[in-house]
């Protein structure tokens, strides 16, 4: 057994030591030995367990009344299993002998004071602290893993301007529920703590990323004092007479990021203050991992649908809001309308923010990730969404403005997938950027670093820089399905659209017109579109870009062709970048089985839009319901669609992130 520390014995006077119950103390039986002694034996109080540590190849355990030899490197380790009632009330006696049959030459005495000093947290991930459970110092992933979890205290339980993590004083007892409990055991004779102190400590880097509150019970906020945090990394514990346990609450102050793995450690030390130079008696430590920010894919049930009320040269978007209301009602989902006063006529609410959540065994709550785009909606998440049990996080770009790719229409997440032998039970984050090893636009490093650091949804970077706006939601979406697979990946497909139009031409509908039903848009026949060499060339280029992403998605998400549905869609090039020729149908809002799809205004054949009919035929057999909504004037003409102009908060995963193995 490994020893915790050594205590030297003396023949001239008894030795005294403090030990922690359950912790080994090495007794040095060799430093002061009577002349002529060849063997020894050890005895002690019933509350003290005595262990002899030796090499069986060099010495055998003595039989009967025989003693241990002094020349065989036998170590003596003692462990107290009961807290002392008084100072020095436990005894260990070492007797030395010249031979097996003679009386003892001398005795050494050791008087022990046993205390219970332990720092305990929820290592078992049950939501409750259990004393002495598991390995407290190491944090392990997986269903059989262990280690405590911290939530970033990024909600706002009391009305104010900032998240609770900025407060060094407790402002609400409800805030304690966002923190992880920690218990310091400090049982022992009160007289011992007159000459010994307990010191709670974090490293300087860790102290900037956590806060620790000491709880003295009661309902008064003054009973809860922050003792560790950015301003102080060490705290001498105020133990009251007779006190056996002291309750603490620990909060996270920072999410994992490029310079922070998410692991944080705290220690408590028992220090003897009597010598001129203080002596460390014992240290216990615990390790937490800060819970990551987790995105939810379209396959998770919707809870709230957000949309903005705006006015422009076409008037107000009241009809669009009405359509969203009907869709939300069908999906049994709450509609939240952001008024013009709060959005400052910025309609792109998907670009402004992304809903996710954080989860710990004792608590979970939604957290909105505010993008660095900072346009009209820049204050909405902080001022209107942040609140009790609704957190907020953001990343700002230093020394430069945000690009279009920093908007969160360029941020998506797949449903759970398996890639070979690797499971991604929370899916994988998808972001758009430039073509590998080429110059071009990318999402800002500060945002990419944050997403990668969360670990549990390993990001995949796709190629979206070929688009004018440059967002992944312009060419892909995921929808839930009622079959065993559980979802499909939808990809925009110029080839599928041209093939559909060719079929309609061959059926005799070549003069049916795209944009039929739109007043302020030039109508173009199927024949005209198929004969347009520029449009066909642009479509071929776009198809190559999407096909490149298709292969990446198949490889990184473990998909087969049967998991992908090609949605007919045409694009045209404006300069070097592509834009949707008609409303981009994959840029839809997904509310369970109900899909709010941009109305494409395709050629009318037998009284029905052939594009809508094609999409219905592809998706409705999968258990989905297609609802086509006119977004042409208020969204499509401004290079966005329904997904860009809406946002959905979804139900968190039932799967707990700590059971994964990144």
Looking at the predicted structure, is the pLDDT value of residue 325 above 90?
A: yes
Cα distance between residue 576 and residue 579, in whole Å:
10
- With H, G, I as helix, E, B as strand and everything else as coil, classify residue 534: helix
DSSP conformation class of 1: -
Active site annotation includes 473: yes
pLDDT band for position 1 (cuts 50, 70, 90): very low
User: Residue 400: what pLDDT?
Assistant: 80
Confidence grade of residue 289 (pLDDT, cut at 50, 70, 90):
very high
pLDDT of residue 118: 95
Question: Which is the catalytic residue, given 122, 175, 351, 465?
Answer: 351
We find that the CATH architecture of domain 122-290 is Sandwich (2.60)
Average pLDDT of the chain to the nearest whole number? 95
Give me the CATH topology for the region 294-657.
Answer: 3.75.10
166 classed as catalytic: no
Count CA within 13 A, CB hemisphere, residue 50.
17
Residue 154 a catalytic site member: no
Domain 7-115 has CATH 3.90.550.10: no
- Assess contact for 375 and 352: CB atoms under 8 A: yes
Is 351 annotated in the active site? yes
Stronger pLDDT, 472 or 57, i.e. the higher one = 472
Q: Given this chain, do its domains 7-115 and 122-290 carry the same CATH topology?
A: yes
* Predicted pLDDT of residue 4: 60
Assess whether pLDDT exceeds 80 at residue 217: no
The Cα 375–Cα 420 span in angstroms is 42
pLDDT tens sequence across 76-103: 999 999 999 999 999 999 999 998 778 9
Instruction: List, in sequence order, every residue forming a beta bridge with 595; answer none if it has no partner.
Output: 590, 626
pTM score: 0.94
User: Which residues are CB-neighbours of 473 under 8 A, at least 6 positions away?
Assistant: 350, 409, 410, 412, 586, 587, 643, 644
- Predicted local confidence at residue 271, as pLDDT: 97
Instruction: Catalytic residue, from 473, 566, 630, 631: name it.
Output: 473
Report the alpha-carbon distance of residue 391 to residue 389 in Å, rounded: 6
pLDDT of residue 3: 42
389-446 pLDDT, tens digit per residue, is 999 999 999 878 889 999 999 999 999 999 999 999 999 999 999 999 888 999 999 9
Q: What is each CA distance from 347 to 57, 316, 352, 643, in whole angstroms?
A: 80, 11, 9, 11
What tens digit of pLDDT does each residue of 511-538 get? 999 999 898 899 999 999 999 999 999 9
Q: DSSP characters for 35-59?
A: TT--EEEEEE-TTEEEEEE--TTT-
pLDDT at 178: 97
Q: Where are the domains of the chain?
A: 7-115, 122-290, 294-657
Average pLDDT score over residue span 318-330: 98
Catalytic residue among 471, 497, 630, 643: 471
Residue 565 reports pLDDT greater than 50: yes
User: Tell me, what's the pLDDT at 65?
Assistant: 82
* Residues in Cβ contact with 251 at an 8 Å cutoff, skipping those fewer than 6 apart: 150, 151, 152, 153, 164, 165, 178, 179, 180, 210, 211, 212, 213
Read off the pLDDT band of 189 (50, 70, 90): very high
Report residue 662's pLDDT band, with 50, 70 and 90 as the boundaries.
very high
Contact 155, 389 (CB under 8 A): yes
Percentage of residues of the chain with pLDDT beyond 70: 99
Among 267, 246, 128, CA closest to 193: 246
| pLDDT in the model for residue 2 | 38
Q: Is the dihedral of CA 447, 448, 451, 455 positive or negative?
A: negative
How confident is the model over 236-253, as pLDDT tens digits? 999 999 999 999 999 999
């Amino acid at each position: 057994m490994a020893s915790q520390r050594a205590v030297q014995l003396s023949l001239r006077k008894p030795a005294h030591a403090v030990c922690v119950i359950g912790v080994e103390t090495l007794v040095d039986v060799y430093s002061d030995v009577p002349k002529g002694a060849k063997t020894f034996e050890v005895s002690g109080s019933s509350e003290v367990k005595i262990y002899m540590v030796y090499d069986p190849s060099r010495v055998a355990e003595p039989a009967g009344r025989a003693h241990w030899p002094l020349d065989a490197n036998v170590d003596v380790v003692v462990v107290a299993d009961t807290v002392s009632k008084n100072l020095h009330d436990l005894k260990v006696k070492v007797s030395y002998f010249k031979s097996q049959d003679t009386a003892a030459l001398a005795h050494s005495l050791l008087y022990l004071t046993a205390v219970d000093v332990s720092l305990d947290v929820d290592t078992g991930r049950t939501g409750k602290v259990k004393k002495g459970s598991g390995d407290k110092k190491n944090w392990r992933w997986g269903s059989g893993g262990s280690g405590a979890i911290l939530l970033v205290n990024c909600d706002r339980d009391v009305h104010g301007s900032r998240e609770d993590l900025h407060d060094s004083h407790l402002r609400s007892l409800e805030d304690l529920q966002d923190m992880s409990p920690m218990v310091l055991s400090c049982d022992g004779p009160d007289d011992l703590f007159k000459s010994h102190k307990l010191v709670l400590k974090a490293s300087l880097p860790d102290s900037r990323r956590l806060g620790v509150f000491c709880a003295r019970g009661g309902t008064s906020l003054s009973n809860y004092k922050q003792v560790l945090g950015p301003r102080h990394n060490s705290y001498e514990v105020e133990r009251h007479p007779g006190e056996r346990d002291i309750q603490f609450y620990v909060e996270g102050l920072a999410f994992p990021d490029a310079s922070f793995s998410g692991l944080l450690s705290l220690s408590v030390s028992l220090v003897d203050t009597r010598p001129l130079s203080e002596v460390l008696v014992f240290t216990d430590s615990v390790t937490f991992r800060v819970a990551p920010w987790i995105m939810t894919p379209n396959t998770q049930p919707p809870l709230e649908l957000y949309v903005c009320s705006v006015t422009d040269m076409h008037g107000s978007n009241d009809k669009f809001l009405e359509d969203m209301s009907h869709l939300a009602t069908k999906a049994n989902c709450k509609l939240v309308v952001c008024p013009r006063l709060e959005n400052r006529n910025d309609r792109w609410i998907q670009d402004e923010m992304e809903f996710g959540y954080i989860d710990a065994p004792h608590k979970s709550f939604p957290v909105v990730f505010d993008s660095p785009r900072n346009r009209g909606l820049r204050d909405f998440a902080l001022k209107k969404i942040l609140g009790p049990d609704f957190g907020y996080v953001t990343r700002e770009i230093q020394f430069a403005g945000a690009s279009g790719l920093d908007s969160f229409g360029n941020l998506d997440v797949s449903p759970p997938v398996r890639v070979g032998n690797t499971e991604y039970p929370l899916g994988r984050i998808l972001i758009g950027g430039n073509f590998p090893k080429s110059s071009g636009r990318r999402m800002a490093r500060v945002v990419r670093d944050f997403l990668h650091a969360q670990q549990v949804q390993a990001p995949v970077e796709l190629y979206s820089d070929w688009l004018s706006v440059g967002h992944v939601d312009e060419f892909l979406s995921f929808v839930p399905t009622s079959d065993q697979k559980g979802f499909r990946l939808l990809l925009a497909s110029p080839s599928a659209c041209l093939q559909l139009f060719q079929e309609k031409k061959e059926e005799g509908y070549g003069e049916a017109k795209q944009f039929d039903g739109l007043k302020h848009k030039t109508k173009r026949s199927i024949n005209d579109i198929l004969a347009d060499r520029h449009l066909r060339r642009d479509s071929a280029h776009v198809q190559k870009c999407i096909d490149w992403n298709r292969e990446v998605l198949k490889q990184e998400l473990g998909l087969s062709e049967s998991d992908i549905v090609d949605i007919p869609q045409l694009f045209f090039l404006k300069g070097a970048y592509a834009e949707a020729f008609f409303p981009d149908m994959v840029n839809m809002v997904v509310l369970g089985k109900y899909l709010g799809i941009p109305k494409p205004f395709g050629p009318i054949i037998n009284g029905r839009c052939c594009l809508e009919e094609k999409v219905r035929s592809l998706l409705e057999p999968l258990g989905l319901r297609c609802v086509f909504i006119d977004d042409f004037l208020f969204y499509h003409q401004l290079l966005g669609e329904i997904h860009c102009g809406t946002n959905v908060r979804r139900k968190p995963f039932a799967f707990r992130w700590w059971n994964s193995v990144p």
